[in-house]
Structure 1
Amino acid sequence: MDVSFFSFFQQVTSNPVLLITVLLTMGVIFVNGWTDAPNAIATCIATRCMRVRPAIMMSAVFNFLGVLVMTGINSSVASTISNMVDFGGETDKALVALCAALFSIVVYSVAASVFGIPTSESHSLIAGLTGAAIAIQNGLSGVNGAEWVKVLYGLVLSLALGFFSGWIICKVIAALCASMDRRRTSSFFKGAQIFGAAFMSFMHGAQDGQKFIGVLFLGIAFCNGQSSVEGMGIPIWLMLLCSAVMGIGTSVGGEKIIKSVGMDMVKLEKFQGFSADLAGAFCLLLSSVFGIPVSTTHTKTSAIMGVGAVKRLSAINFGVVKDMMLTWVFTFPGCGLISFVIAKLFMALF
């Protein structure tokens, strides 16, 4: 299969379905960078280590680098997403179903925002792909259980490991700095938290960027008559394209999200913000290495809750926990069902 940029450009200009698939994928990546990436810098801004605009630009740069570098080193998350479902051997229908899956994410996200239901682009993507695969295969044979079970591992990692990592790291740092001068440690942790926010942004790009690279690569394979991308290397131009779009999306902002995650959930000091960033980035690194797709938002918020629990459990805003649970309850069946219906509709029309 020819995966050069020139070949891709020719296919996009001659195949309307692939063009729509690319535009939808780019749109979802842009929105992910806009709405998800600000979580990475929320604590850094909340503790006044950086101002909003410089922090957002820093996050944009490190999101770009995260997608580019981590996909080049270890693309296991992209492989998990690509191999999670089987759209069958009819690649024309498979491309239409993939387009339907991406369209369902947009429909579900808009509907969820109207009704105030919390969403996760990562979970929406997984649910959308699964619903479309079930539609085209007329059953669960289109779902790869061995890969899909990694999503369940991701739910545990994003909540349990994020929480306990935040709690342990914060406990250790508090114990090490207990006898130190508070003004000196505050100065140190201001710089450390900027590093932590950059690391967290890098890992956000590495984790979330790979998910959509996997989807777009699958669409290109379908257009070339290939039913899967197993064993194929991801071209560098595709990494650059997706990382650039995510970086641009991040640069747009997300100040409301920063306030919600960094300020409304738990009131943090600088060392606590650094603990949350380090814990969240560690969990994302671990899940990326093992090819486990997780929600970066849930990982970061769980780490913040773990840090808050060091003070006392009552310091945590449990409304955030409720939102995460609602995301899991509604997103998988909701977005999956919408994707199933739209895939059936698209295949009937096209």
Structure 2
Amino acid sequence: MADHSRDANHLETLDRDLKRLSTLEQATAYVAKPVAGKGIAAVFMIGAALLAALMFGGTGSMMTIVIAAVFGAYMALNIGANDVANNMGPAVGANALSMGGAIVIAAVFESAGALIAGGDVVSTIAKGIVAPTAMESVDEFIWAMMAALLSSALWVNLATWIGAPVSTTHSVVGGVVGAGIAAAGFGAVEWGQMGAIAASWVISPMLGGLIAAGFLWFIKARIVYQEDKIAAARKWVPVLVGIMAGAFAAYLAMKGLKHLVKITLPMALIIGAVLGVVTWIVMIPVIKRQSEGLENRNKSLKVLFGIPLIVSAALLSFAHGANDVANAVGPLAAIVDAAQSGDFTSAFAIPFWVMVIGAMGISFGLFLFGPKLIRLVGSEITKLNPMRAYCVALSAAITVIVASWLGLPVSSTHIAVGAVFGVGFFREWDFERRLKAARQAVPERPSLPREERQRRKLVRRSHFMTIAAAWVITVPAAAVLSAVVFWGIRAMVG
């Protein structure tokens, strides 16, 4: 009996020790994870510096290019941490993809987009936002590009820390504007182009939100609220998948592959229409087979949107890698070209090694720091399921096509997040509409108190205000920061 009691005491002591050890391991992992992430990021930036030194060792411009490569690597890490959430957040929030699966798909397709279809040529300073002739010397131009690169990366880093998905392209634009004003005055800035960019702050999210809400209304009216949901799904899901295939074919032809093959908007629309019709025909028997044996309820419908949603996330990542990466590493390419040739007024190519830094940096940034904003976009703004997330992804592709047709500069970040808000606000409107109809059908039914109605809002207002504020101040904040950095560089070097 005494032996049994001693064994029991030993086991209790062992349990306590194991529990303490487990708690200690969890605490250590919690503390070590951010430290390890920052350490890996630092190693990547050092690697970028070594690559630049290897490429330009022995040249007089080596140190300038090495420092610029570090800034470019830092910017690429921040793109991965912030911008990629827009493509992967809806699929993760809808449980169509796990966080790990999303990170792998995004890393592969972002890198492929950057390396296969990435920008061959961009204009000298952020697409003509600042007149290059306003710069007095090549050194001043290089300082301005360094200031733009560092300030935009710092701003995106801060936005990620506070949990706000912002446009990295707009951050770079703000950085270029600030450095340009600091170097050459307000007259150096093309204010007409800046006005169009400012207009896109409003147009991008509103257009994305309206298109996403419109598709969600269609799905609810034609499928969800039908008596026989499965029969309705067999009819309309192939059409919707065909529209998605067509939209993404046009989107990729026009945006993602424009650096490989010159494709006009009408040609892209024809390609999209043909592929959309083919996909619609192919999907009819596929959806019919998938829907066999499904129960006549909303949960069953989610199965039919899962694969299209995963494919759309991959395609959005490819197009993002092809476009936004080139814009973000553009200042680095400009510095390399100016430092080598001494010419800063003509167009320049983005070297392959610069695109490698951009592609790898995005992958590392996404893996190390991306999950925070992926969760925010995917589940913390409003609750997403595969049907709602499908509307967000489709809206992103269609909005870019419409904006290109109208000649408007838009941000993929603003479109995707605007689409998430559009879906959420539509759900609120639809809920209120159905609640009102139910009260009219049963007049004696008590109405909910105002506090309870506020509690049941389907969009987090705090996130809405934080993100909207971050969007509005992105360009001016990056511009002010860039001007300060430029003056600091000029004081140290000049």
Q: TM-score, normalised on structure 1?
A: 0.84
Q: What do the CA deviations read for 1:14-46 (whole angstroms, capped 9, x no partner)? A: 422222112101211112112221231112112
Match of 1:148 among 187, 194, 197: 194
Partner SS state of residue 66, structure 2: helix
Alignment of 1:276-287 (within 5 A): 276-284=392-400
Q: Which moved more, 1:8-17 or 1:158-167?
A: 8-17
User: Does 2:142 match 1:95?
Assistant: yes
Alignment of 1:244-259 (within 5 A): 244-259=360-375
User: Does 2:422 match 1:306?
Assistant: yes
Amino acid at match of 1:281: A
Q: Which moved more, 1:259-268 or 1:280-289?
A: 280-289
CA contact (8 A) 1:80 1:291 kept: no
Q: Which moved more, 1:180-189 or 1:5-14?
A: 5-14
Match of 1:221 in 2: 337
Q: Which moved more, 1:263-272 or 1:253-262?
A: 253-262
Q: Which moved more, 1:260-269 or 1:117-126?
A: 117-126
CA contact (8 A) 1:44 1:197 kept: yes
Match of 2:97 among 50, 59, 75: 50
Match of 1:64 among 97, 104, 111: 111
CA contact (8 A) 2:333 2:350 kept: yes
Match of 1:165 among 208, 211, 217: 211
Q: What do the CA deviations read for 1:163-216 (whole angstroms, capped 9, x no partner)? A: 112112222333343443245532210111111211222233234212113222
Partner SS state of residue 387, structure 2: helix
Residues 112 and 235 (structure 1), Cα distance of their counterparts in 2 relative to 1, 3 Å cut: closer
Amino acid at match of 1:255: P
CA contact (8 A) 2:124 2:334 kept: no
Q: Which moved more, 1:54-63 or 1:232-241?
A: 232-241
Deviation of the 1:258 alpha carbon: 1.9
CA contact (8 A) 1:13 1:19 kept: no
User: Does 2:479 match 1:336?
Assistant: yes
CA contact (8 A) 2:89 2:375 kept: yes
Match of 1:321 in 2: 464
**Whose RCO is larger (CA < 8 A, sep 6+)?**
1
Q: Write the distance in 2 (CA, Å) between the matches of 1:90 and 1:347.
A: 12
Deviation of the 1:12 alpha carbon: 9.0
Partner SS state of residue 177, structure 1: helix
Q: Write the distance in 1 (CA, Å) between the matches of 2:301 and 2:158.
A: 46
Deviation of the 1:104 alpha carbon: 2.4
Q: Which moved more, 1:338-347 or 1:292-301?
A: 292-301
Q: Write the distance in 2 (CA, Å) between the matches of 1:6 and 1:107.
A: 21
Amino acid at match of 2:303: S
Deviation of the 1:80 alpha carbon: 7.5
Alignment of 1:71-110 (within 5 A): 71=118, 81-87=126-132, 88-108=135-155
Match of 1:187 in 2: 303
Amino acid at match of 2:68: T
Deviation of the 1:299 alpha carbon: 1.9
Amino acid at match of 1:29: A
User: Does 2:221 match 1:175?
Assistant: yes
Amino acid at match of 1:330: I
Deviation of the 1:79 alpha carbon: 7.0
Q: Which moved more, 1:90-99 or 1:326-335?
A: 326-335
Partner SS state of residue 118, structure 2: helix
Q: Which moved more, 1:140-149 or 1:49-58?
A: 140-149
Deviation of the 1:64 alpha carbon: 1.5
Gaps of 5+ in 2: 1-50, 231-297, 430-456
Question: How high is the sequence identity, in percent, across the aligned residues?
Answer: 24
Residues 220 and 292 (structure 1), Cα distance of their counterparts in 2 relative to 1, 3 Å cut: farther
Q: Write the distance in 2 (CA, Å) between the matches of 1:245 and 1:51.
A: 22
Deviation of the 1:66 alpha carbon: 2.5
Deviation of the 1:95 alpha carbon: 0.5
Partner SS state of residue 315, structure 1: coil
Q: Which moved more, 1:126-135 or 1:208-217?
A: 208-217
Partner SS state of residue 123, structure 1: helix
Partner SS state of residue 382, structure 2: coil
Residues 37 and 167 (structure 1), Cα distance of their counterparts in 2 relative to 1, 3 Å cut: same
Q: Write the distance in 2 (CA, Å) between the matches of 1:206 and 1:288.
A: 16
Q: Write the distance in 1 (CA, Å) between the matches of 2:80 and 2:374.
A: 13
Q: Write the distance in 2 (CA, Å) between the matches of 1:277 and 1:158.
A: 14
Partner SS state of residue 307, structure 1: helix
Match of 2:281 in 1: none
Q: CA RMSD in A?
A: 3.2
Q: What do the CA deviations read for 1:70-114 (whole angstroms, capped 9, x no partner)? A: 435x867x7782422235141112101221222223444566678
Q: What do the CA deviations read for 1:252-278 (whole angstroms, capped 9, x no partner)? A: 352221221111111122111111112
Q: TM-score, normalised on structure 2?
A: 0.61
Residues 140 and 158 (structure 1), Cα distance of their counterparts in 2 relative to 1, 3 Å cut: same
User: Does 2:381 match 1:265?
Assistant: yes
Q: Write the distance in 2 (CA, Å) between the matches of 1:161 and 1:295.
A: 11
CA contact (8 A) 2:381 2:463 kept: yes
State the structure with more CA Rg.
2
Residues 166 and 208 (structure 1), Cα distance of their counterparts in 2 relative to 1, 3 Å cut: same
